[in-house]
């Protein structure tokens, strides 16, 4: 679809004048073209068309391409990233901008987060500051991770505070009802319990999302996020022991008795007095070859000049 200018003007456009919006089938070409025109001016959009599952547009100036890539566009109230056509594909699909981005819902949430907070995509702008594409990619992943962690902290902090306050209020109302027998606050108690259930449900959904984007090894490992990681003090405690018959012992007194009994039997055979040690050494050395007295006498005698000269040369 040609929006403005003739074929002669379009022939002067090069690849660096083009951008693409991976909007898939969410929007029409006209909607994307209008959104781009709101950023750089409708007269600067020369053509727009569907190509390989994305809307490809050609604009008048290269500076306008850079502006679109840095700012992005808003289509129907939703933020969409704009990619340049001049970005060459790489052999690594993970580093290839032309490759379909992994996990589209996560990418969409991140773009909406950047758009709603008025953030600037410093990651794309700083591409020329790195010597190779992999350094730029690793740096960008680190920045995205830090942004998501900070956003999660800011979001979960008031939720945690609200849950703690609601739990305190519910406990106080239940105690008040038990002590006074007045059922006037039953409605308030139900309302607060429903609010608490909604907050806990939202937290459970967050845990489900986290489990879907982690590796199996990370998901199965204990972590402080799920509250499964033991504290440092709990690691020093013995929670149970097996008796000599294989029965599990959980009582602290039985655990102590079993530990004392085990270590006493373990080190009992290692204790020997001096007399037993001498007898044991005599029995061990019996039958071994012995050096003759003449050899011992010759070895204990002083070195002669000839022996010293032979040893040094």
pLDDT digits (tens, 9 = 90+) for 130-167: 777 777 777 777 777 777 777 766 667 777 788 788 88
Residue 54 is part of which domain span? 12-84
Evaluate whether residue 303 is within a structural domain. Answer: no
136 with 59, same domain? no
Evaluate whether residue 118 is within a structural domain. Answer: yes
70 with 148, same domain? no
State the chain's mean pLDDT as an integer.
71
Evaluate whether residue 202 is within a structural domain. Answer: yes
Evaluate whether residue 71 is within a structural domain. Answer: yes
Evaluate whether residue 226 is within a structural domain. Answer: no
252 with 167, same domain? no
Highest mean pLDDT among 93-102, 122-131, 267-276: 122-131
Tell how strand 45-51 and strand 54-59 pair up: antiparallel
Question: Residue 248 pLDDT more than 50?
Answer: yes
The HSE-up count of residue 183 (CA atoms within 13 Å, CB side) is 0
Does 20 or 124 have the greater pLDDT score?
A: 20
Record the pTM: 0.31
Q: Given this model, what pLDDT does residue 289 score?
A: 80
Q: Given this model, what pLDDT does residue 295 score?
A: 87
pLDDT band at 117 (very low <50, low <70, confident <90, very high): low
119 with 206, same domain? yes
- Find out whether 192 and 171 touch, Cβ atoms under 8 Å: no
Closest to 84 in 3D by CA, of 143, 118, 116, 128: 128
- Find out whether 69 and 24 touch, Cβ atoms under 8 Å: no
Evaluate whether residue 302 is within a structural domain. Answer: no
Evaluate whether residue 263 is within a structural domain. Answer: yes
For the segment 15-59, what is each residue's pLDDT rounded down to a tens digit? 788 888 875 557 788 888 888 888 898 888 888 888 777 888 888
């Amino acid at each position: 679809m040609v929006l403005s200018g003739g074929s002669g003007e379009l022939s002067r456009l090069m690849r660096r004048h083009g951008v693409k919006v991976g909007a898939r089938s969410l929007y029409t070409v006209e909607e994307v073209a209008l959104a781009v025109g709101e950023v750089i001016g409708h007269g600067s959009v020369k053509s727009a068309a569907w190509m390989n599952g994305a809307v490809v547009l050609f604009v008048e100036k290269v500076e306008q391409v850079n502006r679109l890539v840095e700012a992005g566009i808003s289509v129907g109230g939703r933020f969409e990233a704009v990619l340049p056509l001049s970005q060459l594909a790489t052999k690594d699909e993970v580093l290839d901008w032309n490759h379909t981005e992994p996990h589209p819902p996560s990418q969409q949430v991140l773009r909406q987060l950047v758009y709603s907070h008025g953030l600037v995509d410093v990651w794309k702008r700083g591409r020329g500051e790195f010597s190779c594409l992999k350094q730029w990619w690793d740096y960008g992943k680190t920045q995205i991770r830090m942004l998501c962690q900070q956003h999660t902290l800011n979001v979960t902090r008031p939720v945690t505070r609200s849950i703690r306050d609601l739990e305190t209020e519910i406990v106080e109302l239940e105690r008040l009802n038990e002590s006074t027998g007045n059922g006037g606050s039953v409605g308030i108690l139900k309302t607060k319990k429903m609010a608490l259930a909604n907050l806990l449900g939202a937290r459970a959904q967050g845990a489900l999302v986290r489990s879907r984007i982690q590796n199996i090894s990370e998901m199965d490992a204990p972590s402080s996020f799920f509250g499964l990681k033991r504290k440092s003090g709990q690691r020093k405690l013995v929670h149970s022991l097996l008796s000599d018959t294989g029965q599990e012992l959980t009582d602290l007194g039985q655990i102590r008795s079993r530990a004392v009994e085990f270590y006493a039997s373990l080190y009992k055979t290692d204790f020997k007095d001096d007399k037993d040690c001498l007898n044991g050494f005599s029995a061990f050395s019996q039958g071994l070859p012995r050096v003759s007295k003449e050899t011992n006498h010759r070895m204990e005698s002083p070195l002669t000049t000839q022996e010293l000269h032979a040893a040094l040369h």
